[in-house]
């Protein structure tokens, strides 16, 4: 099994959070004037869309390398639809185009990436999420 862990903490002087994993960081916030948000970073729906699309961009590169095809430009657009109260993601649509530099049809690369992409496939299968309260000494 492979595991990854990210951490998030409040950004001092704001109600936003800074998240990090390894040497990479990102700011998470709510839109301005929503529950103390200042619009300093991505909201949860945007992060979900970025996870779906970002994972797929990487998978296109993995598949292309495996197939010994060099890719040029990749364009991915992801729309996440939310409904209800509480607000839940009800669907996501990803539109993909990529250029095979050898002139071949990239459809095979896209189809293979679709079969192996971790984030989209995990969501489709309904990955369980546990939410647990930290011990008192971990909350400081």
Q: What is the pLDDT of residue 65?
A: 98
Cβ neighbours of 19 (radius 10 Å): 16
Cβ neighbours of 57 (radius 10 Å): 16
Q: What is the pLDDT of residue 36?
A: 87
Q: What is the pLDDT of residue 139?
A: 58
Q: What is the pLDDT of residue 136?
A: 74
Q: What is the pLDDT of residue 75?
A: 98
Length of the chain: 140
Q: Which residue has the higher pLDDT, 125 or 135?
A: 125
Report d(CA 26, CA 9) in Å as an integer.
Answer: 11
pLDDT in tens, 20-61: 999 999 999 999 888 889 999 999 999 999 999 999 999 999
Q: What is the pLDDT of residue 138?
A: 66
pLDDT in tens, 76-132: 999 999 999 999 999 999 999 999 999 999 999 999 999 999 999 999 999 999 999
Distance of CA 118 to the CA centre of its chain: 10
Sorted by sequence, the CB contacts under 8 Å of residue 5 that are 6+ apart come out as 21
Backbone torsions φ then ψ of 25, nearest 5 degrees: -130, 160
Distance of CA 132 to the CA centre of its chain: 22
pTM: 0.91
- Whether 140 has a pLDDT exceeding 70, the answer reads no
Distance of CA 125 to the CA centre of its chain: 16
């Amino acid at each position: 099994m492979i595991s990854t862990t990210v951490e998030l903490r409040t950004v001092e002087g704001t109600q936003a959070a800074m998240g990090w994993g390894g040497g990479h960081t990102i700011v998470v916030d709510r839109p301005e004037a929503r529950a103390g948000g200042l619009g300093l970073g991505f909201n949860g729906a945007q992060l979900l869309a970025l996870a779906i699309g970002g994972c797929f961009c990487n998978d296109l590169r993995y598949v292309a390398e495996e197939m010994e095809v060099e890719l040029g430009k990749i364009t991915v657009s992801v729309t996440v639809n939310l409904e209800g109260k509480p607000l839940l993601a009800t669907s996501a649509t990803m539109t993909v185009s990529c250029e095979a530099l050898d002139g071949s049809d990239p459809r095979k690369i896209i189809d293979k990436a679709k079969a192996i992409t971790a984030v989209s496939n995990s969501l489709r299968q309904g990955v369980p999420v546990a939410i647990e309260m930290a011990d008192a000494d971990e909350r400081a």
